[in-house]
Amino acid sequence: MRLFRRIRQVNWKYIVGEVLLIFVGINLAIWFNNWNTAKSIRHNKALALTQIEEEISNNLNELGTARENNDLILAAFHAYEAYYASTSSELVATPAERQQLEGRFPDFFRVADSSALEDGRFQYQGETFINFEIAELTEIAWMTTQSMNIAGAFDYPCLYELESMYSLQRRVRQQIDLVTDVIQGRADRSLINALSVLGQLDEQLENNYHSTLESLANCR
C-alpha cells in the first residue's frame, strides 16, 4: 500500500507581502528618525543663531561704550602731548592753557605741585590719570554652537563670516590686553600707539558686527 503525503503549496504572495511590509516599516522608521533629527537640527540651529545674534548685539554695545571712552583718552593724549615736559607726569603751560585743557578733559592730568617759570608759564608736577574702559567681548554662544556640532548645519558663507568676525574680536581682545599692560608702566608714546591700533581694530570690528547681524538672516 502506497502512502501519499500531501504537500502544501507555498503562498508566495503572502511571503512577498510580509517582506514588503517589513521593508516599508524599516524605511518609515528610518524616515521618521531622519525627520526627527532634521527637525532637531533646525531647532538647534535657529536657537544658536538667536543666541549668536544676542551675543553680537551685546558685544556691539560694549564695544561702542568702550570705544567712545578710549577715543577720548587718545584725544586727550594728543592735546596734552604738546605740553608734556620730559614725562607725562610733568606739564609746562600757562595757567590759561592748563585751564583750557582741564576744561576739555577733566581730571586727565592731576596737579600735585607747580612752580613758576620766567616766561609766564608754570611747570606742573602731577600724574596723568587714565580711565581705560575694557570692553567685555564674549564668544560663549559661538563656542557652544561649535562644541555641540550645530555649526555643521550652517552653510559655508555663514560659517566663514562668523569665524572671521570672532577671529577679529580675539585680535581686539589681545590688543586690549596689550594696552592694559602698557598702562601698568608709563603713560607715554607707546600707550598712544597701542591705543591708536586698538581704535583701528575697534572700528573694523564694529563694522563687522553690523554686517554680520545683517547677513545672519540668510543663515537660517
Residue 210: which domain range? 49-219
Tell me, yes or no, whether 26 lies in a domain: no
DSSP of 56-93: HHHHHHHHHHHHHHHHHHHHHHHHHHTTB-SSTTEEEE
The predicted pLDDT at position 176 comes to: 95
What residues have CB less than 8 Å from 101, skipping those under 6 apart? 79, 80, 83, 93, 108, 109
Tell me, yes or no, whether 189 lies in a domain: yes
Instruction: Give the dihedral of Cα atoms 60, 66, 67, 70; nearest 10 deg.
Output: -170
Report pLDDT digits (tens) over 65-95. 999 999 999 999 999 999 998 888 899 999 9
Provide the pLDDT confidence category of residue 113 given band limits of 50, 70 and 90.
very high
Name the domain count of the chain.
1
The predicted pLDDT at position 148 comes to: 84
Tell me, yes or no, whether 146 lies in a domain: yes
Tell me, yes or no, whether 28 lies in a domain: no
Tell me, yes or no, whether 9 lies in a domain: no
Distance of CA 164 to the CA centre of its chain: 10
Tell me, yes or no, whether 44 lies in a domain: no
The predicted pLDDT at position 166 comes to: 97
Report pLDDT digits (tens) over 34-48. 555 555 667 788 898
- Judge whether 197 and 51 are in contact, CB under 8 Å: no
